[in-house]
Chain A
Amino acid sequence: MSKRTMRGETAIIGVGETTYYKRGRSPDAEFKLVIEAILKASADAGIDPREIDGFASYSNDRNDPSRIAAALDIKDLRFSNMEWGGGGGGGSAACAHAASAVATGLADTVVVFRGLAQGQFGRFGQGARVPHVRGDQAYTAPYGLMSPAQSFAMRVHRLYEDHGITQDTLKACSLASYHHAQNNPRAVMYGRPLTPEDYDQSRWIVEPFHLFDCCQENDGAAAMIFVSADRAKDYAKTPVYFLGGAVGSGNRAGSGAHNATDYATSNFKTVAPRMYDMAEVKPEEVDVAQVYENFTGGVVMSIIEHGLTTYEEANEFITFDNLVAPSGKMPINTSGGNLAECYMHGLELNIEAVRQVRGESCNQVDDVNVSLVASGPMVTPVSDMIVGSEAVL
């Protein structure tokens, strides 16, 4: 049996996003933001949005593809898909699903989108105001373990214990994202530089996370358009090819009350090798990486679990100098990412990966042919994608 793969069969032809706002600052309704992002991605590609025939999203997105299809006057809706799971773990999964729908003939022109107006629908960073909690939450929330930061902090202390990783690696990830945002006019933290002293002096949210280890809460929307590789050159921009994707998590990652078999993990240990295998790429061939920051401790785990460094060398490798474009050994989060561009549940990272291959990044790395995205560390499922230039097909 021949190897089953999607490598090089589809390409991203358009990307777009709305203005990114601080939480609660969007003047527009969430659904309107989604339509705007899709229209911008269509304009970027030079495609009539009526040609779109499929949608993929994640994280319980509220914006129903059937409503979007009606709003865009789409002729023939053929694919309507949602990855399970919360957080941003589904970002690259949605891209993989879009690519798979196109590669297998379910649809021809599929949009991946995420719309998020936390100001209109409630925040992620707050505990629920309810008299009772049941099920898995009953074992955590009454003890004041309620928010995402609180849910992941103990994984990071265990990482420190098991592997001798230090707080400086978290700091380096934070400083790199804020550094990159200073060159990105789209970034919510544009014009808001962060110094090492600012980081050190910032308040604890929950040890080991300082304020600047935590993602923002934002309003906005983002969209990407996938078509088959044989049509990809018919549009305005240089196609960026989908090389590989993978979704999932390891043994019993979703077991209750923090009983995952492997605890101090970003959940990429089984996922990343599958993505590299499909993409036919080795970790040392990755030119630039977008590594989802819900919290910087998860970024550190992800960098290690993608083979970009090792547990033994992580403290020496994960430094500000190595993480920044264009000169670092492994530039990450070159748009500013979830920390400093916008928390668009990571879809801004998938878009940035495309811009790096196109040569359009605000913090362009030289000669990018292989561009990685790791979506949603520590949640389950997580997902990965690698996109690349025509040169690596």
Chain B
Amino acid sequence: MANPGAYYLGEGMPAPAPAIDGLDTEYWEGVKRHELLVQNCNTCDRPQFGPEWNCHRCHSFDLGWKPVEGNGRIYSWERVWHPVHPALQDSCPYLVVLVELPNHENVRMVGNLVGDPMQTVEIGAEVRPVFEDHEATEETEPFTLVHWEVV
């Protein structure tokens, strides 16, 4: 393992925070409860991600959130070797995956693939979410990241 600490990547990475305009507060509150949510239109009942203020399909402003049902599927991946942030100095290599959600019209989410960073990554592999809780620091509130592991 490249990352012996509590978190998949090194401490001191930028922390996610809800948008100032309140667009995605529900998402970030949901993952703190270990509930992965995807935006869903209350008018045409179609999902979208990342969150936006209107439905990209029917243009309704009446959008809500649905819990993600079932597992995801690896749509693409990358193995990062060059650290572009001081917090990543001891974290390389690490794996980033783009996961599509078959039960939600294949909308996609980015996360890390937990486990051996040198594992062979297969596009199409079934993955499930893994919640990684981060404690508060002097600069950041508590937050939760969503990683993925092969089923």
What's the Cα separation between A129 and B14 when bound, in Å?
A: 7
Q: Which residues of chain B from 132 to 151 have any CB-CB distance to chain A below 8 Å in the complex?
A: 139-140, 143, 145, 147
- Number of A interface residues, CB 8 Å? 45
CB distance from A139 to the nearest CB of B (A): 6
CB distance from A169 to the nearest CB of B (A): 17
Q: Knowing A140-B110, A144-B94, A206-B81, say if A259 contacts B15 (CB, 8 Å).
A: no
CB distance from B92 to the nearest CB of A (A): 9
Contact among B24, B50, B85, B140 for A144, CB-based, below 8 A: B85
B78 contacts A157, C-beta separation under 8 Å: yes
A158 contacts B17, C-beta separation under 8 Å: no
Q: Which residues on A sit within 8 Å (CB–CB) of B45?
A: none
Q: Does A142 contact B (CB under 8 A)?
A: yes
What's the Cα separation between A135 and B28 when bound, in Å?
A: 11
Q: Which residues on B sit within 8 Å (CB–CB) of A71?
A: none
Q: Which residues on B sit within 8 Å (CB–CB) of A43?
A: none
Q: Chain B residue with minimal CB distance to A131?
A: B139
A206 contacts B20, C-beta separation under 8 Å: no
Q: Does B61 contact A (CB under 8 A)?
A: no
Q: Knowing A127-B85, A135-B19, A157-B78, say if A252 contacts B94 (CB, 8 Å).
A: no
Contact among B23, B75, B88 for A263, CB-based, below 8 A: B75
B96 contacts A154, C-beta separation under 8 Å: yes
- Number of B interface residues, CB 8 Å? 47
Q: Does A136 contact B (CB under 8 A)?
A: yes
CB distance from B76 to the nearest CB of A (A): 4
CB distance from B120 to the nearest CB of A (A): 12
Q: Which residues on B sit within 8 Å (CB–CB) of A139?
A: 16, 50, 109-110
A-B contact pairs, 30 of them (CB 8 A): A127-B85, A129-B85, A132-B16, A133-B15, A134-B16, A134-B17, A134-B20, A138-B16, A138-B19, A140-B110, A142-B15, A143-B110, A143-B111, A143-B112, A143-B145, A144-B88, A144-B91, A144-B112, A149-B82, A150-B78, A157-B76, A157-B78, A203-B82, A206-B78, A255-B56, A256-B51, A257-B50, A257-B108, A258-B110, A259-B107
Interface residues of B, Cβ cutoff 8 Å to A? 9, 13-20, 23-24, 28, 48-52, 56, 75-82, 84-86, 88, 91, 93-94, 96, 98, 107-112, 123, 139-140, 143, 145, 147
